[in-house]
Chains A and B, each alone.
Chain A
Amino acid sequence: MVREALLDPTGMDERAADGTLAPRPGTLRGLTVGLLDNTKPNATELLAHLGAGLESRAGVGETRLYTKDYFGTPVQEDLLKQIAAECDVVVTAVGDCGSCSAATVADGILFEHAGVPAVSITSDSFLMPGRAMARLQGFPGFEFLAARHPIASLDSDELRRRAEELLPDVLRVLGAEG
């Protein structure tokens, strides 16, 4: 009787892992922070509150808002290069759906690989796709922030409080003193 090995149907060879973070600046004082809006509801305002918090709390010099053309896939290379050239660190939000949560995490990893410290923010209903994407990108331990779900339906005061809750972890991931 001929015996043959079973075949792996995934083709999932171990991808060249690159779990290296960009060097941290130590302080955000005077630096330029890129805010990458993925166009999901309330992403712009959440990022604006975070940007204001970074200015008042960490002495950030300037915040710049950028907008993705489609929330479901990672940031396009042109925009990635532009942000990397114009900003010292970046915050990207908000991953609150199946495809955009994974894309937001992929964005953070792409920025780290481009040498820009990055904070990816999803909602905590979408931890699993974020982690799955980090594994696919060869960075299984990539740390991203999970804000309390929901985000899309919050009013302005609630968004401000979400941003307040997130700010200490944003500073920690960026390696900055609060």
Chain B
Amino acid sequence: MAELTHETASGAAPMELGDVPAADPAEIRALMEFYDERGWTDGLPVVPVTESYVAEFLATTASDPDEVLFAVPHLNRELTVRLAAINAALAGCRPAYFPVVQAAWEAIAQEPHPRRGIWQSTTGTAPFTVVNGPVRTELGLNSEGNVFGSGFRANATIGRAIRLALINVFGLHPHQLDQATQATPAKYTACIAENEEQSPWEPLHTEYGLDRAESAVTAYVVRSVIHIEARHTQLPEQLALDLADTIRRTGALIHEYTNALLVLCPEHARVFAGAGWSKEDVRSFVYEHAVRPRAELAAVGKDAISHHTRWRLPASHPDAMPDTAAGSDDPDHVHVMTGPSSVQIVVAGANNAGVSAVVEIFGLAPRERPSSYSRVRAGSATARSSSS
């Protein structure tokens, strides 16, 4: 048998079977079943975590293990650095990923909805993070082909580290405190990196005043990732209208307004940049065209808003009041976004086709920017993060 070899999945050099480690199958099974029985899982097997393993994660941060990263007061629950580390290890992160996980939590903690119970809600939103800067290549975060897909440990496990802590620390088990009607596949994991190398523009984190050489995590609360097929055009106006058409779909409108993260493939980004459009130009154009005729909103019963909840409902409803556009100079054309900054832009995906995505960002009240970020700090306490 000694001459038998097999190809590894990644196509790396053939490995001698004799090099494969041996394990106790009964113990592996017992550990998997233990976590499953406790409910300490998202449904997939988790990595068993012991004190010496967590110590390796905690060694990557200057923060005190008891420092609280994120609290939900009405649930009486707090996530400490130590609990974030245990859940990152459980999710399959390498210790070196932990500074990114910590920055993700620091960004999530600045978002308005997570601390107010949005992840208990029927709406079924998920945390979604974008990583920028050198840490992407240091950790092997995928920013190219299959950027929303499977196959990359750093993306898969950093996103999962957030989910597992939400389940374990905040008790957000489905059918219990998490009452999502359907939710989204992003609830397993949703972490992408920006393809800064193939973007014609400066990367996302430079919009916060950070240097390209710094690393940062931006957190969004998202409902959907919708793909845009636009392989046919080199005209920036056509492409931007195609994007705006998806953003203004009536099904996205629970409230008066929506927000979107455009995840542009490199080819689409170049359609814009090649025509001289900046990211701000794309934002402004998309915002201006994220408009629906009032009659189309009336046709689906979303032409007014509720006094109580400010959710969209029919103008004939007893609780209805006019929406903001009804009091404007142009009441029959309803903007579904509050301004250009409701449109966020990153570049990600392979440089091989005109396929992009609109990530729908959940939001109630208008905000200057529908996301928050935090710098990735490796091993030392440097400048603190700030809200955007």
A41-B309 contact in complex given A4-B52, A11-B80, C-beta closer than 8 Å: yes
Q: How many residues of B contact A (CB 8 A)?
A: 44
A72-B176 contact in complex given A9-B40, A136-B75, C-beta closer than 8 Å: no
Q: Are A97 and B179 in contact (CB under 8 A)?
A: yes
Which of chain B's residues have a CB closer than 8 A to the CB of A71? 309
Residue among A10, A40, A128, A132 making CB contact with B309, cutoff 8 Å: A40
Residue A5 CB within 8 A of the other chain: yes
How close is B214's CB to chain A, nearest CB, in angstroms? 31
Residue among A9, A11, A39 making CB contact with B90, cutoff 8 Å: A9
Residue among B50, B51, B73, B83 making CB contact with A11, cutoff 8 Å: B83
Give Cα distance in the complex from A44 to B309, angstroms.
13
Segment among B14-22, B118-126, B262-270 that sits at the interface with chain A:
B118-126
Segment among B140-148, B167-175, B232-240, B290-298 that sits at the interface with chain A:
B167-175
Residue B252 CB within 8 A of the other chain: no
Binary contact track B98-129/A, C-beta < 8 Å → 1, others 0: 00000000000000000011101111000000
Give Cα distance in the complex from A2 to B50, angstroms.
11
Residue B86 CB within 8 A of the other chain: yes
Q: Which of A28-79 contact B (CB under 8 A)?
A: 39-41, 44, 70-74
Which of chain B's residues have a CB closer than 8 A to the CB of A103? 74, 117
Q: Are A10 and B34 in contact (CB under 8 A)?
A: no
Residue among A11, A72, A131, A133 with max Cβ neighbours from chain B (10 Å) = A11
Q: Are B177 and A97 in contact (CB under 8 A)?
A: no
Which of chain A's residues have a CB closer than 8 A to the CB of B78? 11
Residue B306 CB within 8 A of the other chain: yes
How close is B73's CB to chain A, nearest CB, in angstroms? 8
Q: Are B116 and A70 in contact (CB under 8 A)?
A: yes
Which of chain A's residues have a CB closer than 8 A to the CB of B306? 41
Q: Are A40 and B308 in contact (CB under 8 A)?
A: yes
Q: Which of B217-276 contact A (CB under 8 A)?
A: none
Residue A85 CB within 8 A of the other chain: no
Residue among A41, A70, A98, A137 making CB contact with B178, cutoff 8 Å: A98
B residues sitting closer than 8 Å to A (CB atoms) are 31, 34, 40, 48-52, 54, 73-80, 83, 86-87, 90, 116-118, 120-123, 164-165, 168-169, 171, 173, 175-180, 306, 308-309, 319
Q: Are B176 and A128 in contact (CB under 8 A)?
A: yes
Which of chain B's residues have a CB closer than 8 A to the CB of A10? 40, 83, 168-169, 171
Ordered by A's residue number, 13 sampled pairs between the chains whose C-beta atoms are within 8 Å are A4-B51, A9-B83, A15-B76, A41-B306, A41-B319, A70-B116, A71-B309, A72-B117, A72-B121, A73-B116, A99-B120, A102-B117, A129-B179
Give Cα distance in the complex from A99 to B362, angstroms.
15
Give Cα distance in the complex from A39 to B178, angstroms.
21
9 new A-B contacts, CB < 8 A, other than A9-B87, A39-B309, are: A7-B50, A9-B83, A9-B86, A10-B83, A40-B309, A73-B73, A74-B74, A98-B178, A133-B75
Which of chain B's residues have a CB closer than 8 A to the CB of A126? 179
Q: Are B173 and A132 in contact (CB under 8 A)?
A: yes
Which of chain A's residues have a CB closer than 8 A to the CB of B50? 4-7
Q: Are B168 and A9 in contact (CB under 8 A)?
A: yes
Q: Are B121 and A106 in contact (CB under 8 A)?
A: no
Q: Are B74 and A98 in contact (CB under 8 A)?
A: no
8 shortest A-B CB distances, which residue pairs? A98-B179, A99-B117, A4-B50, A72-B117, A99-B120, A132-B176, A9-B168, A98-B120
Which of chain A's residues have a CB closer than 8 A to the CB of B164? 9
Which of chain A's residues have a CB closer than 8 A to the CB of B173? 132
Which of chain B's residues have a CB closer than 8 A to the CB of A137? 76
Interface size on A, as a range, is 20 to 34
Q: Are B179 and A72 in contact (CB under 8 A)?
A: no
How close is A18's CB to chain B, nearest CB, in angstroms? 12
How close is A156's CB to chain B, nearest CB, in angstroms? 9
Which of chain A's residues have a CB closer than 8 A to the CB of B180? 98
Q: Which of A91-146 contact B (CB under 8 A)?
A: 97-99, 101-103, 106, 126, 128-129, 131-133, 136-137
Which of chain A's residues have a CB closer than 8 A to the CB of B168? 9-10
How close is A122's CB to chain B, nearest CB, in angstroms? 11
Give Cα distance in the complex from A39 to B117, angstroms.
16
Give Cα distance in the complex from A131 to B54, angstroms.
32
Q: Are B169 and A9 in contact (CB under 8 A)?
A: yes
Which of chain A's residues have a CB closer than 8 A to the CB of B178? 98, 129
How close is A123's CB to chain B, nearest CB, in angstroms? 11
A107 to B, closest residue via Cβ: B74
Give Cα distance in the complex from A149 to B122, angstroms.
15
Give Cα distance in the complex from A71 to B180, angstroms.
16
Q: Are B117 and A136 in contact (CB under 8 A)?
A: no
Q: Are A97 and B171 in contact (CB under 8 A)?
A: no
B313 to A, closest residue via Cβ: A41
Which of chain A's residues have a CB closer than 8 A to the CB of B169? 9-12
Give Cα distance in the complex from A137 to B76, angstroms.
7
A6-B121 contact in complex given A73-B116, A101-B179, A136-B76, C-beta closer than 8 Å: no
Which of chain B's residues have a CB closer than 8 A to the CB of A106? 74
Give Cα distance in the complex from A103 to B75, angstroms.
9
Q: Are B49 and A7 in contact (CB under 8 A)?
A: yes
A129-B120 contact in complex given A11-B83, A102-B177, C-beta closer than 8 Å: yes
